[in-house]
Amino acid sequence: MFDQSLLNLSGVGEKLQETFSEMGIETINDLLFYFPNRYDVYEVKPLSELIHDDKVTIEGEVVHKPSLTFYGRKKSRLTFQVKVENIVIKAVVFNRAFAKNQINAGDTITLTGKWDHHRLQITVSNYILGQMNQSSEIQPIYGLKGELSNAKLRKIMRIALNQYGSMVDEILPTEYLNAYKLPSRSDALVHMHFPETHQQLKHARRRFTYEEFLLFQLKIQLLRKHKREAAAGNEQKFQAEKVEEFIDVLPFTLTNAQEKSLKEILQDIKSPYRMNRLLQGDVGSGKTAVAAISMYASITAGKQAALMVPTEVLAEQHVGSLQKTFEGYATVSLLTGSVKGKKRKEILQKVAIGEIDILVGTHALIQDEVQFSNLGLVIVDEQHRFGVEQRRALKDKGLNPDVLFMTATPIPRTLAITAFGDMDVSVIDEMPAGRKFVKTYWAKQNTFDRVIQFVLKELKKGNQTYFICPLIEESDKLDIQNAIDLHQQLRSFFEPDFKVGLMHGRLSTVEKEQVMKNFAENEIQVLVSTTVVEVGVNVPNATVMVIYDAERFGLSQLHQLRGRVGRGNAQSYCILLADPKSEIGKERMRIMTETTDGFALSEQDLKLRGPGDFFGRKQSGMPEFKVADMIHDYRALETARNDAQVMIAENRLAEEAYRGLKIKLEEEDVFSGQVLD
Ligand code: ADP
Ligand code: MG
């Protein structure tokens, strides 16, 4: 019945139906659940409480008939005086000439509009002849297309609700409705569209927020369960004592956060499920250490491990340090495009017969001619470079290893449980003791000369410096031009004493790797770069990072960039060159200078920029909620997640009281058992 066409409603003809269709509304059901974008609240206030420039509502008596003036083409201005609390104020209405004849001296009128306190004047956006029905009125504002007006939509909505509203079935179990004191689905629906009080609206939203979150959580949790059950068994019986021993010989004690993450990972390794886990932690929080222990666990179970990193330079860096760590415990080899000929053949052979325990490389590792004898664990550094395709490649080889993704981009807790719904998440939210933090300063662009002097001092100490170039969102080309210009400018400052290198997105992979290599080997002392430098390079000798136009970057991205320095023993510095104009912009710069915690920054970022921007536009794959807001309704999200867990664990969905939920989930194909990768 709810899937009937809108033509069944009186007042909707074919033309209007078309407009609705453009808005994505095809059926009665679509219409009923087309919620307002926002609500305008009209509440008459005394003059003394009005704030300059605010949108206000006042009530008064028209003093004399409006006077009308025309200007420009088809433009008009209507002005009249209104007596409010014995004070005469001026009302201005633009482009509604027809109102002249509706408004007469002596009328009571309610005006809504922008208040000018100094001129005692209101620029009217809405007026009602007479008084408002209630002391305050909440008016829903819908997103609209074409000729459809808000008033018209409300009229049609009223008709639809009268005709169908009471037939809307409850889908939440009574037990939960009672526990959270939520209104019924049909009541809440009416109150979303025609709230009479703030209270009604609040509870209606609360209800749909919970409903949306619960359905979403049930969906992702069920999918995850299916995935696990469908994945081929991968039980790795590692030797706990050996792992303990390995941890004991590490030159440090694990932080509590490392211990906790490690425990979660080892549990996955031991279980017959295939691990699909994300390990998050700031740069230097000790993720790689945890990864190394996990790889060793896998090796004690007689398996091999692979560590995949984004670039060859990084692969080389990792191999060096891992070979030291694993001396006497496991064999570690490098396999990248640069490993060629006889050497390559030899490594491939050793991997195939299981003589190499740990293979490190770029993602060519799991493709092409590489055949593992018994791959148990794959670790992927900077997870965004590894996708479904790579997983398929593994599967095609008949391999179902546990997979651990590592990222230094902290995802706010809020987003983590939604964005990575089908992934388990471990978090290292604590730094090893005694870590030196990068000192961060905010400088105005016109202090550039002093910045240069500062850099020069560091260079003379034998340290290296990054300059990150202005970011111009719309244009790759300009980005690169900026980098080229800055490169020229800096060369004239620093050369011949210090060499200045250049890196940007137009360089080929080989060229980029070469520049990075030169910088890593200190053949270049100053590196000018666009943000391509962001991904995981490690040059411990670099102590200064100067970021141009820092206000254009997100806080998380700035933090990510900042993480390129402070990797050695020397004190490091990050200088943000920025002249932000807005208060928010200035606030962001201050936050950067004061906060070194990536998670705190990412939460701030989320608040300031919203979830869409967080992962970059569009690519986020974030769920879209109609009513719920992941940031403000975080508590509800957690509640829904826990409830969903219980419902699934106790197999409640089979019960009668859960039928409504089950039907909803079936509509979304959750039970089809379709497993992604
Ligand atoms: P990440 O991969 O998160 O950037 P790493 O695992 O590479 O961090 O660790 C950064 C540095 O800190 C390494 O030199 C590592 O040996 C050291 N480290 C790791 N864990 C600890 C710890 N618990 N205490 C002290 N130092 C640690
Ligand atoms: Mg690392």
Ligand 1 pocket mutation pick from 247, 249, 250, 252 by most atoms within 8 angstroms of CB = 252
pLDDT average, residue stretch 281-303: 94
Range of lowest pLDDT (235-239, 331-335, 553-557, 577-581): 553-557
Q: What three-state secondary structure class fits 612?
A: helix
Q: Is 568 within 8 Å of 541 (Cβ atoms)? A: yes
For atom 16 of ligand 1, which residue has the closest CA?
Answer: 289
Cα 431 to averaged position of ligand 2 atoms, centre (Å): 13
pLDDT average, residue stretch 257-264: 97
pLDDT band (50, 70, 90) for residue 354:
very high
Ligand 1 pocket mutation pick from 285, 383, 428 by most atoms within 8 angstroms of CB = 285
Ligand 1 atom at minimal distance to the Cα of residue 254: 23
Could you tell me which residues are beta bridge partners of residue 87? Answer: 84
- Of the CA atoms within 13 Å of residue 262, those in its CB half-sphere come to 24
For atom 19 of ligand 1, which residue has the closest CA?
Answer: 286
pLDDT band (50, 70, 90) for residue 676:
very low
For atom 20 of ligand 1, which residue has the closest CA?
Answer: 286
Cα 635 to averaged position of ligand 1 atoms, centre (Å): 33
Nearest ligand by distance to the CA of 286: 1
Per-residue model confidence (pLDDT) at position 673: 41
Cα 399 to averaged position of ligand 1 atoms, centre (Å): 30
For atom 10 of ligand 1, which residue has the closest CA?
Answer: 284
Q: Is 664 within 8 Å of 215 (Cβ atoms)? A: yes
Residue 579 CB neighbours (<10 A): 14
Burial annotation 323-357 (CB, 10 A radius, 16+ → b, else e): bebbeebbbbbbbbeebeeeeeeebbebbeeeebb
Residue 302: CB partners within 8 Å, gap ≥ 6? Answer: 374
What pTM did the predictor assign?
Answer: 0.66
Cα 324 to averaged position of ligand 2 atoms, centre (Å): 15
Per-residue pLDDT tens for 578-588?
999 888 889 88
Per-residue model confidence (pLDDT) at position 417: 61
**Pairing relationship of beta strands 55-62 and 75-84 according to DSSP bridges:** antiparallel
Per-residue pLDDT tens for 464-496?
999 998 766 556 666 677 888 899 999 999 999
Residue 499 CB neighbours (<10 A): 16
Query: Please, what's the largest Cα pairwise distance for the chain?
Result: 100
Per-residue model confidence (pLDDT) at position 135: 66
Q: Which two tokens stand for residue 390?
A: 């790579």
pLDDT average, residue stretch 231-252: 90
Per-residue model confidence (pLDDT) at position 474: 54
Q: Which two tokens stand for residue 581?
A: 């104009």
Ligand 1 atom at minimal distance to the Cα of residue 289: 6
- Kindly report the CATH number that applies to the domain delimited by 1-37+144-168: 1.10.150
Higher-confidence residue of 458 and 339: namely: 458
Q: Is 186 within 8 Å of 30 (Cβ atoms)? A: no
- Fold identical between 240-428 and 439-595? yes
Q: Which two tokens stand for residue 492?
A: 């004239």
Per-residue model confidence (pLDDT) at position 521: 92
pLDDT average, residue stretch 359-367: 84
> Which amino acid appears at position 157 of this protein?
M
Cα 572 to averaged position of ligand 2 atoms, centre (Å): 18
Length of the chain, in residues: 677
Distance (Å, whole) CA 307 – CA 318: 9
pLDDT average, residue stretch 282-307: 94
- CATH number for 439-595 (one of 3.40.50.10160, 3.30.70.100, 3.40.50.150, 3.40.50.300): it is 3.40.50.300
Per-residue pLDDT tens for 38-94?
898 888 888 888 989 888 999 999 998 899 999 887 889 999 999 999 899 999 999
For atom 17 of ligand 1, which residue has the closest CA?
Answer: 286
Percent of the residues in the chain that have a pLDDT greater than 70, as a whole number: 89
Per-residue model confidence (pLDDT) at position 539: 87
Distance (Å, whole) CA 382 – CA 362: 11
In this predicted structure, the answer to whether residue 231 has a pLDDT above a threshold of 70 is no
pLDDT band (50, 70, 90) for residue 674:
very low
Q: Can you name the CATH fold of 240-428?
A: Rossmann fold (3.40.50)
pLDDT average, residue stretch 348-371: 89
Per-residue pLDDT tens for 616-636?
433 344 567 888 887 778 789
Q: What are the pocket residues of ligand 1 if the criterion is a CB atom closer than 6 Å to any ligand atom?
A: 252-255, 258, 281, 283-289, 432
Cα 256 to averaged position of ligand 1 atoms, centre (Å): 13
Q: Indicate the average pLDDT of the chain.
A: 87
Nearest ligand by distance to the CA of 410: 1
Superfamily name with CATH number, domain 43-131: Nucleic acid-binding proteins (2.40.50.140)
Cα 310 to averaged position of ligand 2 atoms, centre (Å): 11
Nearest ligand by distance to the CA of 291: 1
| Domain boundaries along the sequence of the chain | 1-37+144-168, 43-131, 240-428, 439-595
Between CA 308 and CA 654, with CA 623 as vertex, the angle to 5 degrees is 100
Q: Which two tokens stand for residue 111?
A: 């005006």
Ligand 1 pocket mutation pick from 278, 287, 538 by most atoms within 8 angstroms of CB = 287
Rounded alpha-carbon distances, angstroms, from residue 385 to 309, 388, 413, 535, 536: 9, 10, 22, 10, 12
Distance (Å, whole) CA 337 – CA 358: 17
